[in-house]
Structure formats: structure tokens, C-alpha cells
């Protein structure tokens, strides 16, 4: 009951409602612009939260995540160009409905399925966060170190096909996290005599550079996207349509729940899985790919459920499950909140206040999804060069405003160039960000644990929770390596078979 009281006080006695509405509105706009994913839209906003109340700032960022997942479906349906990677599946049936003159119906299904999925996801977040946070009492320095190492092992699932490239990206992230003054000894590390690097490189600069600037650099080399008609209006599903899409919505919500709480999953994977399962269990599977309402409801429900349930590993264990939650994690650190098992016990007013704000955000999506459609269409129809220039100016001014230091802008641009080069050579970005966020946690707790063990590393194996987490890490990496090897062998066998068939 104390948690409910805190949530209600946050909603009715603070500007939380305003920030929830503003975040959803900005998220819908960012999601509707092709190329600006949910994580990039959040990263653009991150510097402007500096100096805000931590609860309001995170409500704003998390609400942006909620809005962006719906916004990505707007260009997916109208111009066959997904605004976010998670909306790729929505294109399949959404654009077919658009060609059939059912654009408003498709947009309405996307909106309502997303709202339902988001609300169910928030109920699950509230139900699961507190039980999981109770394990905080069992966490010691060795256990926190093992948790960080386990989080880093998720690089195996975030490596986008190349485990080696994933670990190399992680090493870069770990190296960046060591720049500055050693937190325990006070020794300068990798500052190269620069006063600007004494405080280290702030995660906010890396996040904005890697996600926003790198994407903007890439977008400048891409052709302009198609234009949308100004006459579109959302048509909410009627009772008959609801009866048809309800099972698909539940399937998407279920898969989104599982995928959200699983680090390394994310909305994109959830949308593909939910689409396949909705088709498998549909009474009309032959309509999928030809304008099926279920083909929109399932992935959209999954996307918005993930936006809620992904908060569970982020808040309770400090392990982001996607680029968007990595940006959210950066926001927590920026505002002096250390995510992890102790977050709820140390900052209950923040956690329950965030829950209250996100319930408002999911409800406001229903209204704003209708209201924001005309501005989104107007923005999509602007010349791409103007939009990119405006966003670059917005990012640069926002980064400068944090510390009023032009060096921060230079670091951010440098990180953007690094991110762009990594994309060119197909290096995954998320392992770098994950290693950057977890690097300081791993280093700090490793050294504390060794001190507690009087220099003996056996403390990591005598601590029960630490031993379990390290064991899971080994199994996780070994399993991922085996799966990667098996896939390569299968691909090689198929290639050999097709080659031999071609010869005969």
C-alpha cells in the first residue's frame, strides 16, 4: 500500500503527468521518423534532462520509449518504411491494409494493441519488481562483481552473428570506462594530460554519440524516404475487429513479457516471434501477408509490452536488455541513481513514482496516438536534409548545455565517428554500451571483494550467490558459442549441398 500511495502522490502532486505526456508525444514523433529508433529518440532527449528531478527525468525518458514503439508503426503502415526496427514486422500486413484503403483501421489496431500490451506489461512490472529486489539482501561485493560479469556475458547474445566482434566491442567499452581518475587509488588513467578527461568520459556522451550521431551520419548517405498522404485518420477497432485480434494481442503480450525480462531480447525479436506465433494459432493464417489485422496486433502488442517489462532487469539487476534500456540506464546513472537489487530499498519513492508515471504514459498514448498523427505525417514529408541538420543542431546544443563545455561536443562527435566506423565493419554497438555501463561496477566491486578476501580470489567461489552467477556465466558463454558454431556448420553444410546440386 505504501507503494501505491507513493505512485498516486507522484501522479497528483508532481508534474509527472506533464512529463509522461511530453515523453509519449516526443516518442511518437521520433518513432515516426524513419531512422530514429526508440533508443536514438531517447538519447536525443537525455542531455535536456540534466538538472531535472530524477523521477521526472526518468519518467520522461521511459515515456519516450513507450511512445516511440507506437510511432514506429506510422511510417511502417503508410509508406512501407518502419520508423523503428521493432516495426519491421508491422510493415508486412500494415502496408497491405494501406494499399487496400484501410490505413485508418491499421493505425487504430496498432494503437489499441499497443496500449493493451503496455498496460498489461506495467501490471507485470509492478508485480515482479519488488520480489526480485528482495534478493538485494544477499548481494555482497563478490556477488555484485559476479552479476556484472554475468551481464557482460550477455554480449554473446548481442553480437549480431559474430562473437569475436562482440567481445572486441566490449573491450572498447571497458577501455572507455577506465578513462579518468582511479576511484580507489586516485591515479590518472589514459587522460594523456587532458584536464577534460580527468573526470572520465560520461556515459551520456557515448550513448548520444553511438546511437544518435552515428545514425545521423549513416542517414546522410541514404536516399530520402517516401512521402505520406495528409488525409489519413485513425479508426479504432470495433467489437467485431476486437474479437478477431484479441488472441493475437494476448500472444504478443505473452511473448513480449518473456522477451522483455530476458536480457538480450528486445522489441525486434519479440515482434518477429509474436507474428509467427499469431499466424500459427490464427483461424485465418492464409490472410497473413495480405492485410491481416492479427498481423499488426501481435507485433505491436509485443513491442509495447517489451517497453514495460524491459524495466524489470534494468531496474532490479542493472542489466539493459536493449539499446533503449541502455539509454535509460545511462539516464539513471546521470541522475545519481545506481540500478541494481538495492534500488527499490534505497529509492522506493523513485521506483514507485516511475511506475505511476508510466501508467499515465500508457493511457495517454491512446489520446496522443490520435492527436499526433497529423504532425508526424507533416514531419515525414519534410526534406530529409533539413530534418537531419535540425537534429544534429539539437543534439549538439543539448550536449553542450550539460556542462557548458565544448569538449563534450567534441567527445560526442568522436564517439559518433567511432560508432559509424563500427557500423561500416558490422561491429555491434550494444556490447560496447553494455560494457561501458557495467565496467565501473565490475571493477569497483572486484577490488572491494579482493580487499575483503585479503588478496585471495577464492572469495568469489566461497560466496554462494557469486559462485552461482559465475557458473551461469560460464554456461551462458559456452552455450552461446556452441549455438554459433552449430549455425555456422549448418550454413556450411547447406552451402555445400547447394553447390553439389548445382554441379549435378
Give the pLDDT confidence score for residue 194 in this predicted structure.
80
pLDDT per residue over 354-391, tens digit each? 999 999 999 999 889 888 888 887 877 777 778 788 87
Give the pLDDT confidence score for residue 224 in this predicted structure.
67
Mark out the alpha helices in 266-309 (DSSP H runs).
267-281, 294-309
Find cell 484479441 and name the residue: 246
pLDDT per residue over 140-174, tens digit each? 888 888 888 887 776 655 555 577 788 888 888 88
Give the pLDDT confidence score for residue 169 in this predicted structure.
86
pLDDT per residue over 117-131, tens digit each? 989 988 888 888 777
Mean pLDDT of the chain: 83
Which of the 8 DSSP states describes residue 223? Answer: P
CA torsion angle 105 85 481 263 (round to 10): -80
pLDDT per residue over 277-292, tens digit each? 888 888 888 888 888 8
Average pLDDT value for residue range 290-300: 90
Q: Specify whether the CB–CB gap between 118 and 308 falls below 8 A.
A: yes
Which of the 8 DSSP states describes residue 49? Answer: G
Give the pLDDT confidence score for residue 1 in this predicted structure.
53
188-189 and 180-181 strand pairing: antiparallel
Percent of the chain with pLDDT over 70: 93
pLDDT per residue over 94-120, tens digit each? 888 888 888 888 889 999 998 999 899
Q: Which cell is 409 given?
A: 561536443
Q: Specify whether the CB–CB gap between 48 and 91 falls below 8 A.
A: no
pLDDT per residue over 429-472, tens digit each? 878 877 887 787 788 888 888 888 888 888 888 888 889 888 98
Average pLDDT value for residue range 496-500: 72
Q: Specify whether the CB–CB gap between 139 and 465 falls below 8 A.
A: yes
pLDDT per residue over 59-72, tens digit each? 999 999 999 888 88
Residue 322 has pLDDT above 60, yes or no: yes
Count helices and strands (H / E) in the chain.
24, 2
234: left (phi over 0), alpha (psi -120 to 50) or beta: beta
Spans of all domains in the chain: 1-137+145-462
Percent of the chain with pLDDT over 90: 12
Average pLDDT value for residue range 398-418: 85
Residue 218 has pLDDT above 70, yes or no: yes
pLDDT per residue over 18-68, tens digit each? 999 999 999 998 888 876 778 888 888 888 888 889 999 999 999 999 998
Most confident of 273-282, 325-334, 412-421: 412-421
Most confident of 198-207, 324-333, 416-425, 450-459: 416-425
12-16, 216-220, 271-275: range with lowest mean pLDDT: 216-220
Cα(75)–Cα(68) distance, integer angstroms: 12
Q: Which cell is 329 given?
A: 540506464
Cα(60)–Cα(17) distance, integer angstroms: 10
Mark out the alpha helices in 159-211 (DSSP H runs).
163-177, 203-207
Give the pLDDT confidence score for residue 202 in this predicted structure.
81
**How far is CA 393 from its chain centroid?**
24
Find cell 506495467 and name the residue: 122
Sequence length of the chain is 504
Give the pLDDT confidence score for residue 18 in this predicted structure.
94
Give the pLDDT confidence score for residue 26 in this predicted structure.
92
Amino acid at each position: 500500500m505504501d507503494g501505491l500511495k507513493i505512485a498516486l502522490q507522484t501522479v497528483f502532486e508532481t508534474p509527472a503527468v506533464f512529463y509522461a505526456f511530453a515523453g509519449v508525444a516526443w516518442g511518437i514523433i521520433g518513432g515516426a521518423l524513419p531512422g530514429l529508433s526508440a533508443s536514438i529518440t531517447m538519447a536525443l532527449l537525455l542531455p535536456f534532462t540534466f538538472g531535472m528531478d530524477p523521477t521526472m527525468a526518468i519518467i520522461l525518458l521511459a515515456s519516450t520509449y513507450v511512445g516511440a514503439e507506437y510511432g514506429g508503426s506510422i511510417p511502417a503502415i503508410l509508406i512501407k518504411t518502419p520508423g523503428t526496427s521493432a516495426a519491421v514486422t508491422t510493415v508486412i500486413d500494415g502496408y497491405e491494409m494501406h494499399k487496400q484503403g484501410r490505413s485508418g483501421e491499421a493505425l487504430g489496431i496498432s494503437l489499441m494493441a499497443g496500449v493493451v500490451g503496455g498496460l498489461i506489461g506495467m501490471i507485470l512490472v509492478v508485480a515482479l519488481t519488488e520480489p526480485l529486489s528482495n534478493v538485494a539482501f544477499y548481494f555482497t561485493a563478490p556477488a555484485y562483481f559476479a552479476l556484472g560479469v554475468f551481464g557482460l556475458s550477455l554480449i554473446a547474445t548481442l553480437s549480431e552473428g559474430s562473437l569475436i566482434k562482440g567481445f572486441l566491442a566490449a573491450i572498447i567499452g571497458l577501455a572507455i570506462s577506465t578513462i579518468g581518475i582511479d576511484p580507489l587509488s586516485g591515479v590518472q588513467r589514459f587522460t594523456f594530460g587532458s584536464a577534460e578527461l580527468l573526470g572520465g568520459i560520461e556515459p551520456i556522451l557515448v550513448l548520444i554519440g553511438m546511437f544518435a550521431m552515428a545514425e545521423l551520419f549513416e542517414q546522410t548517405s541514404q536516399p530520402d524516404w517516401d512521402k505520406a498522404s495528409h488525409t489519413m485518420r485513425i479508426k479504432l477497432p470495433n467489437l467485431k475487429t476486437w474479437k478477431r485480434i484479441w488472441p493475437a494481442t494476448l500472444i504478443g503480450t505473452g511473448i513480449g513479457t518473456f522477451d522483455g525480462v530476458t536480457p538480450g531480447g528486445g522489441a525486434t525479436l519479440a515482434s518477429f516471434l509474436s507474428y509467427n506465433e499469431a499466424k500459427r494459432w490464427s483461424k485465418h493464417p492464409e490472410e497473413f501477408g495480405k492485410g491481416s489485422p492479427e498481423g499488426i496486433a501481435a507485433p505491436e502488442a509485443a513491442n509495447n509490452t517489451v517497453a514495460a517489462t524491459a524495466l524489470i532487469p534494468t531496474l532490479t539487476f542493472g542489466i539493459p536488455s536493449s539499446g533503449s534500456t541502455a539509454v535509460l540506464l545511462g539516464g539513471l546513472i546521470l541522475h545519481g541513481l545506481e540500478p541494481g537489487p538495492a534500488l527499490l530499498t534505497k529509492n522506493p519513492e523513485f521506483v514507485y513514482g516511475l511506475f505511476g508515471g508510466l501508467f499515465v504514459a500508457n493511457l495517454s498514448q491512446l489520446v496522443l496516438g490520435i492527436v499526433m498523427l497529423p504532425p508526424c505525417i507533416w514531419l515525414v514529408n519534410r526534406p530529409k536534409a533539413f530534418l537531419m541538420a535540425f537534429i544534429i543542431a539539437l543534439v549538439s546544443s543539448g550536449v553542450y548545455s550539460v556542462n557548458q563545455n565544448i569538449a563534450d561536443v567534441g567527445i560526442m562527435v568522436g564517439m559518433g565517428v567511432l560508432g559509424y566506423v563500427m557500423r561500416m565493419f558490422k561491429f555491434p554497438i550494444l556490447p560496447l554500451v553494455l560494457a561501458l555501463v557495467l565496467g565501473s561496477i565490475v571493477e569497483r566491486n572486484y577490488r572491494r571483494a579482493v580487499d575483503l578476501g585479503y588478496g585471495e580470489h577464492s572469495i568469489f567461489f566461497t560466496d554462494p550467490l557469486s559462485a552461482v552467477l559465475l557458473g551461469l556465466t560460464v554456461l551462458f558463454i559456452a552455450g552461446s558459442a556452441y549455438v554459433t558454431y552449430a549455425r555456422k556448420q549448418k550454413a556450411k553444410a547447406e552451402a555445400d549441398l547447394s553447390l553439389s546440386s548445382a554441379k549435378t
